Amino acid sequence: GGARTGTRGYIAFSSYLDIPVVMGSRSTNIKCKIGGFKGRKLEDEDYIGFRAKRRYLPYYLSRSLDLNEFDQEKVTLRVVMGPQEKMFTKEGRETFLNSEYTVTSEFDRMGCRLEGPFIAYKTTSDIISDGIAFGSVQVPSHGKPIILLADRQTTGGYAKIATVISVDIPKLVQRKTEQKVRFQAVSVEEAQKLLADEMKELNDFRSQIYTPCKEVLDCRLVAKRISALFE
């Protein structure tokens, strides 16, 4: 069926896919055509085996995960300011943090171009090319932010006013065209705490998946008693 929220879905497998390791990863970089399955998107009739005996997640269906955050028309993306925020005027930085921006159709795994108020820079937004982190917010000469994502280039020559924190990347990538985003500045320490809290939440969820629910335990007890009658 169609998606009820967000724009992207994920498939989870209960075993390990038999895909070669390239540079320490089994993921695919489609732009470079390396990794994954022949360095490309999957097509009809492609076949991928498993590296290990199939494993089951027998308790998974008894759990649920709240994904309501992806159902909001407007979201706030928390950012750590920098590394080139000083290249922008005070008014430009205030515009960035106090304005609403619209997700455009120019949105893929490389980045997301936003439409909205002009972010003023002091003299130029050009810099000597340097490294780009996941979630960097680049502002070219047209003054509109571009958030760089998983398949971003390794270096770039435009000033980066901020970086979207790790835990808020999913909020961005589930946005649809014409939906709105805003930005809120946080400290590095706040971003680290939020990431630690998210990791704990995911680990707790993992534990729930592998913990039998009461119904399963009751069924096991009944099966054990029935088995004992025939011994």
Summarised one tens digit per residue, pLDDT across range 151-167 is: 899 999 999 999 999 99
Band (29; pLDDT cuts 50, 70, 90): confident
* The predicted structure's pLDDT at residue 69: 60
pTM above 0.85, yes or no: no
Give the ranges where the chain is alpha helix by DSSP (H). Answer: 90-98, 169-173, 188-209, 214-229
Percent of the chain, pLDDT > 70?
Answer: 81
Give the chain's end-to-end CA distance (angstroms, integer): 48
Residues present in the chain in total: 231
Per-residue pLDDT tens digits for 67-77 = 556 667 789 99
* The predicted structure's pLDDT at residue 31: 83
Q: d(Cα 148, Cα 107) in Å, to the nearest integer?
A: 10
* The predicted structure's pLDDT at residue 206: 78
Evaluated on CA atoms 84, 112, 186, 169, the torsion sign reads negative
pLDDT for residue 3 is more than 80: no
Q: Using alpha carbons only, what angle is made at residue 130 by residues 125 and 131, rounded to the nearest 5 degrees? A: 120
Per-residue pLDDT tens digits for 104-141 = 999 998 999 999 999 999 999 999 999 999 999 999 99
Which domains occur in the chain, in start order?
74-190 (2.40.100.10)
* The predicted structure's pLDDT at residue 205: 78
Per-residue pLDDT tens digits for 163-213 = 999 999 999 999 989 999 999 999 999 999 999 999 998 888 777 777 765
